[in-house]
């Protein structure tokens, strides 16, 4: 299982990037070996900060990081360097 990686990107205020993030996150989770139900659950949890952040910040540009270490995947989303939302999930077994 890949531990110790970091993948980060900055997305502008284009609404279509929310769908791109869904697709990207799904691909990352699938490549890491998560089951479809775990992917769907993680994507649902990721949509919460997207909606809350857009409502609270009044803009839609955001930074997102995917990282793995200490046996967990951590997705961090923030708007303009402000509040961070974190979605964590145990890494799947490599068996």
Tell me the pLDDT tens digit for each residue of 21-53. Answer: 889 999 999 998 999 999 999 999 988 877 776
Look-up: residue for tokens 């997305």? Answer: 11
Distance CA 29, CA 36 (A): 9
Domain boundaries, the chain: 5-90
For tokens 């990037």, what's the residue? 17
Helical (H) or strand (E) element with 29? helix 16-31
User: Model pTM greater than 0.85?
Assistant: no
Q: Is the predicted pLDDT of residue 95 greater than 50, yes or no?
A: no
At residue 1, does pLDDT exceed 60? no
Find, among 10, 22, 12, 3, the residue nearest to 74 by Cα.
3
- The half-sphere exposure of 70 on its side-chain side, counting CA atoms within 13 A, is 3
pLDDT given for residue 90 in this prediction: 93
């Amino acid at each position: 299982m890949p531990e110790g990686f970091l993948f980060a990107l900055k997305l502008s205020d284009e609404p279509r990037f929310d769908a791109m993030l869904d697709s990207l996150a799904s691909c990352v989770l699938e490549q890491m070996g998560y089951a479809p139900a775990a992917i769907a659950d993680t994507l649902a949890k990721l949509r919460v900060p997207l909606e809350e952040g857009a409502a609270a910040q009044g803009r839609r540009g955001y930074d997102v990081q995917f990282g793995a270490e200490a046996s967990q995947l951590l997705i961090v989303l923030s708007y303009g360097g402000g509040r961070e939302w974190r979605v964590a999930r145990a890494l799947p077994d490599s068996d």
